[in-house]
Amino acid sequence: MNSFSSGFEVQQNLDLQSALAFASPTVRTILERALAGEEVSEADGTILFSATERDQQAIYLTADLFRQKANGDKVGFVVNRNINFTNICYMGCRFCGFAKRSEDHDAEWLEPEQIVERAKIAWERGGSEVCIQGGLHPKMSGTYYREIVLAIKAALPDMHIHAFSPFEIWYGAAKTQMSYRDFLADLKDCGLGSMPGTAAEILDTEVRRKLTKNKLSAEKWVEIIRTAHEVGIPTTATIMYGHVDGPQHWAAHIRLLRDIQKETGGFTELVPLSFVHSESPLYANNPDEVRPGPTVSEVNLMHAVSRIMLHGWIDNIQVSWTKLGADRAREMLAMGVNDLGGTLMNESISRSAGAKNGQEITAKELVQIIRSAGRIPVRRNTVYDEIESFADHDPEDLSPLVERDGQDPLDFLKMFPEVEAAQ
Ligand code: SF4
């Protein structure tokens, strides 16, 4: 193990050594091998994901050490806006509480100029990214995806467009009868900057059959993601857990993401997404078979074991505050997490599925969450280049940031009012 320089690091190492001494021999051996630089296998990952209380502290401290090696004390966030251009979708994924039918009173469809209008507001308020996803509207043309990208780029050439899940790429390519490669290369030429790696759910055929009727198979998700990386479009990676799945599925999923990353290097981060059961038809229709989301320990272990399994390959583990809320997001910073994601105004997908944690958070709130955990807030862009660090502020001081030249330094990042309500 590396030598440690600061008092904090020495204490952290002592804590880890005592937690390892207390852990079961099996888990201790797996973690000691990982700390010595060995890769954690899928079988060992399954053991870690199944850890009981006795072993959990050693796992969390190992994850925290790996986080520190990879990222130091910096915790990132991005100022972005979510735009869900339609919620009309007939795919019928059983877990989805977001999709509406065209005739529903709350069905939504945005024309390109309405999407651009929202993107402009984001830009004017300091946003560097728009995150765009939508349902698979049956009457939508496959070229609508490129129209959206072209319209935003014409109005805002420097706005980063992070858009379209592999499910949407599958849909657009099928509608236009293009190969995934040609469809993705065209979107990149139009100005697509990166893609969310959503719709991964759990990359296991049996689980996907229960969740989505396997309409987008695990193989197709992997093929689209690999192709995106090959044509130069980076993506995030996700896992949606806590429903009809278990530790062996999680370990296989994370191992698969690691294998893809070894080939392509195209993942920017992993974002674990806990299943929110409250308005999900999957749970409502099968309460005896479907779990109501992950337990507290499972959430902790998901972030920590993913950090350990992905060490050296995917350096950024992001917590979803929309799923977990600010307090739990802060706790995850001690379990291997180094990123809080985006301000995400209008985060309607989680809300539709019953998440209680609002649709936006201000940059200032994110900074204060990070500082309250003793870490250094860093505003980053979508692909993890640092835009601004808040290292010069005392991490113990939770008061609003000091005014510079009479102006609150985060004023320009103040997020958006409820513009949706007015439109
Ligand atoms: S998860 Fe996406 S594809 Fe599936 S029903 Fe919901 S909106 Fe449609």
Q: Which two tokens stand for residue 355?
A: 């998440």
Which atom of ligand 1 lies closest to the CA of 95? 1
CA of 158 to the centre of ligand 1 (A): 30
pLDDT-derived band at 418 (thresholds 50, 70, 90) equals: very low
pLDDT band with cut points at 50, 70 and 90 for residue 345? low
160-163 β-sheet, strand order: 80-84, 129-133, 160-163
- Our answer on whether the CB atom of 96 is closer than 6 Å to any ligand 1 atom is yes
Tell me, using a 6 A CB cutoff, whether residue 99 lines ligand 1. Answer: yes
* Cβ of 88 below 6 Å from ligand 1: no
91 pocket-lining for ligand 1 (C-beta < 6 Å): yes
Residue among 405, 374, 407, 404 nearest 391 (CA): 374
* Cα–Cα distance for residue pair 246/384, rounded to 1 Å: 31
Residue pair 264/226 in contact by the 8 Å Cβ criterion: yes
Helix (H) or strand (E) holding 240: strand 235-241
Q: Is the shortest distance between the CB of 171 and ligand 1 below 6 Å?
A: no
Q: With b meaning 16 or more CB within 10 Å and e meaning fewer, what string describes 366-393? A: bbbbbbbbebbbbbbbbebeeeeebeeb
Centroid of ligand 1 to alpha carbon of 310 (angstroms): 28
Q: pLDDT of 255-288, one tens digit each?
A: 999 999 999 999 999 999 999 888 789 999 888 9
85 within ligand 1 shell (Cβ under 6 A):
no
Is the separation of the CB atoms in 228 and 188 below 8 Å?
Answer: no
Closest-lying ligand 1 atom to the alpha carbon of residue 96: 6
Average pLDDT, the chain: 88
- Report the C-alpha gap between 187 and 165 in whole angstroms: 13
Minimum-distance ligand 1 atom for the alpha carbon of 165: 2
Mean predicted confidence (pLDDT) in 378-394: 85
SS3 414: coil
**260 or 420, greater pLDDT:** 260
Pick the more confident residue, 410 or 204: 204
In angstroms, what is the span from residue 84 Cα to ligand 1's centroid?
12
273 - beta bridge partners?
A: 240
Q: Ligand 1 centroid to 95 CA: how many Å?
A: 9
| Ligand 1 center from residue 43 Cα (angstroms) | 32
Residues 6+ apart with CB under 8 A from 418: none
Which residue's CA lies nearest to atom 2 of ligand 1? 135
Of 387, 282, 260, 249, the closest CA to residue 272 belongs to: 249
Please give the Cα distance from 249 to 210 (Å, whole number): 14
What pLDDT sits at residue 251? 98
The protein residue with its alpha carbon nearest to ligand 1, atom 4, reads 93
Q: How far is CA 324 from CA 265, 300, 346, in A?
A: 28, 11, 16
- Cα 135 to averaged position of ligand 1 atoms, centre (Å): 6
Of 171, 270, 267, 273, the residue nearest 225 (C-alpha) = 267
Query: 95: Cβ below 6 Å to ligand 1?
Result: no
Pocket test for ligand 1, best of 136, 208, 220 (most atoms within 8 A of CB): 136
Q: 0.95 exceeded by the pTM?
A: no
Indicate the burial class of 408 (C-beta count within 10 angstroms; 0-12, 13-18, 19 or more). Answer: middle
Confidence of residue 354 (pLDDT cuts 50, 70, 90): low
**Which domains does the chain show, CATH number per domain?**
7-71 (no CATH), 77-391+418-422 (3.20.20.70)
**Is 136 a pocket residue for ligand 1 (Cβ < 6 Å)?**
yes
The confidence score (pLDDT) of residue 125 equals 82
Nearest CA to ligand 1 atom 3: 91
Which pLDDT score, from 0 to 100, does residue 219 have? 97
* CB 98 near ligand 1, within 6 Å: yes
- 100-155 pLDDT per residue, tens: 999 999 999 999 999 999 999 999 888 999 999 999 999 999 999 999 999 999 99
Q: For ligand 1, atom 7, which residue shows the shortest CA distance?
A: 135
Confidence (pLDDT) at 213: 84
Q: How far is the CA of 347 from the centre of ligand 1 (A)?
A: 15
Question: Cβ(273) to ligand 1 under 6 A?
Answer: no
State if residue 66 touches ligand 1 by the CB under 6 angstroms criterion.
Answer: no
